[in-house]
Amino acid sequence: MSSVLLQDLTPVLSLTISSLGARTARIRHCFRDCPREDLAMPTPVEQWVNQVAQVTRPKNISWCDGSAAEYQRLIQEMLATGTLIELNQKEYPGCYLHRSDPSDVARTEHLTFVCTSKQEDAGPNNNWMPPAEAKEKVGALFSGAMKDRTMYVVPYIMGPVNSPYSQIGVEITDSPYVAVNMRIMTRMGKAALDRLGASDNYVKGLHSLGDLSPERRFILHFPEERLIWSIGSGYGGNALLGKKCFALRLGSAMAREEGWLAEHMLILGIEEPSGRTTYVAAAFPSACGKTNMAMLVPPASQKGYKVWTVGEDIAWMNVGADGRLWAINPEAGFFGVAPGTNLHTNPNVMATIRQNTIFTNVALTPHDTPYWEGLDGPPPHEALDWQGKPWTPDSVTKAAHPNSRFTTPASQCPSMSAEWENPQGVPISAMLFGGRRANLIPLVYQSFNWQHGVFLGATMASETTAAATGKVGVVRRDPMAMLPFCGYNMGDYFGHWLRMGQRLSQPPQIFRVNWFRMTSEGKYLWPGFGENLRVLRWVLARVHGEVGAAETPIGYLPHPTGIDVTGLDVSPEALKELFAVDRPGWMEAVAGQQEFFTKFGDHLPKEIWQESEALARRLQA
Ligand code: GTP
Ligand code: SPV
Ligand code: MN
């Protein structure tokens, strides 16, 4: 058939589809390489889109091709409806502000479910609903949900376009804000559909803003069907389904089946003055410093060091033929925390977000520039706060929401590694687990071996942050920074980590870090940010067998001279505190850990209990 004929057939095709029952498949941008011999037969994705359209009844359907022209069109439409506000195009070209519904500003973990046939497969770490019940209850909310709205079909690739470790997803959404954010965060559009072809091997994500009511908000995962349903929220982690829902919750379940790891980790390369580059992955809970560390700028005192960014939130890791662990960043952009971001803490991201960036829930100055707490310079004399209300520095409320964010393309970041899109990924030599802990946890220490390292990850706890709704500053257990993101029973997850270690002949060395120790007056004991490179240098020296360490009950700690602190404003007393092992404090911690582990019953590997008991014995010795 000639392409002309095929194009002429398009109306017939829609008729055919509607005779199959899909009444809304009329508007459809054909951007694939026509002619296609099989165009008369809907592909699995087309069939699914038609089924969804029948239920949600959108006004029309728009297949996203990921082009710049399409992006611009969506931006213009959102400017017209007020969904976006144009920022000062001279100072922030291509940048826009979005104000979300005030009740929809963070992940809502209590409305997030893993729907497996058996409850124990979801585990005590997840909210659970039986799949049939979930479908009935939430299916009713999807019925007619897209009436008078456009349905966007967003095909995307998680991972570099040509990587064997990449995966395809398709998100159906009625939010143009989600569609443009997905273009920044993933390889979105034609490349994904081309790679998918007529295959049905993709993750389905169905998203609707619904009525944005928290009463009718659900984020549901069906790992057995590789399906996500999200309704009632437009917020990042709830609505950009490639990120936490796919890359972590479904991803972790897929990784367990297929023998890889999907982790809430940044990936960076540290280049030493000698030219040697070592790759490190680090798991810190939400709003605990991944983006900052991934883009670390060495301070002037650390001459000749460079830090290269590979990823700042998620790592997918596979066992290489060489017995090392290789990591790719499945994302293409950053969805980063705005407050606290400035030229001192993260100059690289400050350069990145000066163009083509969507800001969400930051404040707006009279010059139409974005503002948030902790930005460089004095605050503006007046501004509109994140809800669009007048604000001055005397206001008791914050100008920007504490979880206000930017969505920005990774390719714009000055510190991106030349390897960041390497289809094979980068080899990981060290993994860090770090929480936000005012007390107890030293600045850095190393595990004795892989099994003990898995235990260090499994026993992580951290103070809660504004990245999720709920109380801030409460210490909660957050193994591997994955508590909100592990899509299956976490006891089995620890077992999977242990098994992965057995397959690695050159496993990464595992460390705990803590940048957040505080004095009793609430002052940070450690300067953090760029100065964290001093800690990373000890990590590298350990990895490469270049420095000794002190063996303590909790692990290997640096010798007093192990970490170079010359020129830092850190008192000898502070240093002592940063590296102290508080035995009574640790004994209490062990009790808390064991209480947590008990919840996993038979699913908890015996090795984790052995490590816990061994730690208790060493502390008592
Ligand atoms: P998510 O995007 O939610 O996963 O967060 P993240 O882990 O990427 O955290 P991010 O780097 O955005 O940092 C969150 C907050 O922690 C910001 O307010 C930072 O300023 C602060 N922060 C980051 N690194 C450090 C550090 O080394 N020391 C201190 N004291 N604060 C830090
Ligand atoms: C996090 O909360 O860990 C984030 C932001 O990275 S979100 O995408 O909303 O999960
Ligand atoms: Mn995150």
> What residues have CB less than 8 Å from 200, skipping those under 6 apart?
44, 45
What is the per-residue pLDDT across 508-536, written as a single tens digit (0 to 9) for each? 999 999 999 999 999 999 999 999 999 99
The finding on whether 149 has its CB within 6 A of some atom of ligand 2 is: no
The finding on whether 335 has its CB within 6 A of some atom of ligand 2 is: yes
The best mutation among 100, 104, 105, 107 to test binding of ligand 2, ranked by most ligand atoms within 8 Å of the C-beta, falls on 107
Residue 251 in this model has a pLDDT that exceeds 60 = yes
Domain membership flag for residue 105? no
Q: Are residues 244 and 379 in the same domain?
A: no
Kindly report which listed range (26-30, 59-63, 83-87) carries the lowest average pLDDT score.
26-30
Which of 233, 259, 285 is the C-terminal boundary of a domain? Answer: 259
Q: Are residues 449 and 303 in the same domain?
A: yes
Domain membership flag for residue 13? yes
Domain membership flag for residue 104? no
pLDDT of residue 31: 45
What is the per-residue pLDDT across 397-434, written as a single tens digit (0 to 9) for each? 999 999 999 999 999 999 999 999 999 999 999 999 99
Q: How far is the CA of 286 from the centre of ligand 3 (A)?
A: 5
- HSE-up of residue 392 (Cα within 13 Å, Cβ side): 2
Q: Are residues 179 and 244 in the same domain?
A: yes
Q: Can you give the CATH number for the domain in which 366 is found? A: 2.170.8.10
Percent of the chain with pLDDT over 90: 93
Q: Are residues 250 and 267 in the same domain?
A: no
pLDDT of residue 419: 98
Q: Are residues 370 and 280 in the same domain?
A: no
Q: Are residues 34 and 179 in the same domain?
A: yes
Domain membership flag for residue 173? yes
Domain membership flag for residue 494? yes
Domain membership flag for residue 96? no
Nearest CA to ligand 2 atom 8: 237
Domain membership flag for residue 87? no
Residue 539 in this model has a pLDDT that exceeds 90 = yes
Using DSSP's 3-state secondary structure scheme, residue 70 falls into helix
Q: Higher pLDDT residue, 400 or 23? A: 400
Domain that holds residue 399: 334-412
What is the per-residue pLDDT across 487-504, written as a single tens digit (0 to 9) for each? 999 999 999 999 999 999
Q: Are residues 35 and 171 in the same domain?
A: yes
Mean pLDDT value of segment 162-177 = 98
Q: Return the H-helix or E-strand segment holding 543.
A: helix 533-543
**pLDDT band at residue 78 using 50, 70 and 90 as cut-offs:** very high
pTM equals: 0.94
> What residues have CB less than 8 Å from 514, skipping those under 6 apart?
434, 435, 436, 437, 441, 442, 443, 444
Ligand nearest to the CA of 291: 1
Q: Are residues 38 and 153 in the same domain?
A: yes
Is the sign of the CA dihedral 144, 145, 150, 153 positive or negative?
A: negative
The finding on whether 393 has its CB within 6 A of some atom of ligand 1 is: no
Catalytic residue ranges: 288
Distances (CA, A) of 192 to 38, 186, 188, 236: 18, 10, 6, 21
CA pair distance 526, 542, nearest whole angstrom: 21
**pLDDT band at residue 39 using 50, 70 and 90 as cut-offs:** low
What is the per-residue pLDDT across 457-484, written as a single tens digit (0 to 9) for each? 999 999 999 999 999 999 999 999 999 9
Q: Are residues 545 and 522 in the same domain?
A: yes
What is the per-residue pLDDT across 116-153, written as a single tens digit (0 to 9) for each? 999 999 999 999 999 999 999 999 999 999 999 999 99
The finding on whether 252 has its CB within 6 A of some atom of ligand 1 is: no
Residue 40 in this model has a pLDDT that exceeds 80 = no
Q: Can you give the CATH number for the domain in which 33 is found? A: 3.40.449.10
**pLDDT band at residue 6 using 50, 70 and 90 as cut-offs:** very low
Q: Higher pLDDT residue, 19 or 572? A: 572
Which of 371, 390, 412 is the C-terminal boundary of a domain? Answer: 412
Distances (CA, A) of 415 to 183, 291, 296, 610: 21, 12, 9, 42
Q: How far is the CA of 238 from the centre of ligand 2 (A)?
A: 9
Q: Are residues 180 and 278 in the same domain?
A: no
Q: How far is the CA of 201 from the centre of ligand 2 (A)?
A: 26
Q: Are residues 338 and 426 in the same domain?
A: no
> Domain total for the chain?
3
Residue 357 in this model has a pLDDT that exceeds 80 = yes
The finding on whether 369 has its CB within 6 A of some atom of ligand 2 is: no
Which of 236, 259, 282 is the C-terminal boundary of a domain? Answer: 259
Residue 51 in this model has a pLDDT that exceeds 80 = yes
